[in-house]
């Protein structure tokens, strides 16, 4: 019951965030010369309008849930997806610094371990297959050169 009283619909945060986002860029778009800002201004004005409606819906959901008339719930946020996102950021950063193939050869086994794979053989085989496949298709067949950084 205590938790229900504290409930704030995620739509309120979403509405406020989108409204602020729309206002910031709308102000900039209105300063563009001539027709340049016409379309972005129109789009951002509509975005602001729909953000305010979302905010309204969020307020309604919050009030109804707190009164006990409805049972709206917010999506549960888990930590693991953000850890995955962080590893992707590190991977892309390393790719620029030490090269695509080396960082991929390190990233793949680490990420597989992170996702819960504990068997060494599937990790080694799949990493090797992916690296050979990428080299054969992208470098040898399509002549696409990967970021090479300090190493390979």
Nearer to another protein, 4 or 85 (CB): 85
* Closest separation in Å from C-beta 115 to another protein: 4
Nearer to another protein, 11 or 65 (CB): 11
* Closest separation in Å from C-beta 3 to another protein: 20
Nearer to another protein, 2 or 25 (CB): 25
The rounded distance, in Å, linking the Cα atoms of 99 and 92 is 10
The rounded distance, in Å, linking the Cα atoms of 61 and 82 is 27
Nearer to another protein, 7 or 25 (CB): 25
102, 151 in Cβ contact below 8 A? yes
* Closest separation in Å from C-beta 112 to another protein: 5
Residue with token string 């297959």: 129
Which residues contact another protein by CB under 8 A? 10-11, 14, 18, 22, 25, 28-29, 32-40, 42-44, 46-47, 50-51, 53-54, 57, 75, 77-78, 80-81, 83-85, 88-89, 91-92, 95-96, 100, 104, 107-108, 111-112, 115-117, 122-123, 126, 130, 134, 137-138, 141-147
* Closest separation in Å from C-beta 33 to another protein: 7
- How far from the centroid of its chain's Cα atoms is residue 104's Cα? 21
* Closest separation in Å from C-beta 32 to another protein: 7
Cα end-to-end distance, the chain, whole Å: 59
DSSP state of 142: S
131, 101 in Cβ contact below 8 A? yes
Residue with token string 């030490």: 98
62, 10 in Cβ contact below 8 A? no
């Amino acid at each position: 019951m205590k938790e229900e009283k504290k409930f704030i619909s995620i739509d309120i945060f979403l509405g406020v965030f989108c409204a602020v986002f729309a206002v910031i860029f709308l102000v900039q778009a209105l300063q563009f010369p001539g027709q340049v800002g016409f379309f972005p201004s129109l789009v951002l004005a509509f975005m602001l309008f729909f953000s305010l409606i979302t905010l309204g819906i969020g307020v309604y959901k919050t009030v109804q849930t707190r009164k006990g008339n409805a049972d709206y719930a917010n999506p549960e946020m888990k930590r693991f997806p953000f850890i995955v996102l962080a590893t992707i950021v590190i991977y892309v950063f390393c790719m620029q610094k030490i090269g695509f193939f080396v960082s991929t050869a390190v990233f793949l086994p680490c990420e597989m371990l992170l996702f819960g794979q504990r068997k060494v053989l599937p990790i080694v085989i799949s990493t090797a297959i992916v690296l050979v496949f990428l080299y054969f298709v992208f470098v040898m067949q399509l002549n696409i050169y990967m970021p090479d950084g300090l190493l390979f």
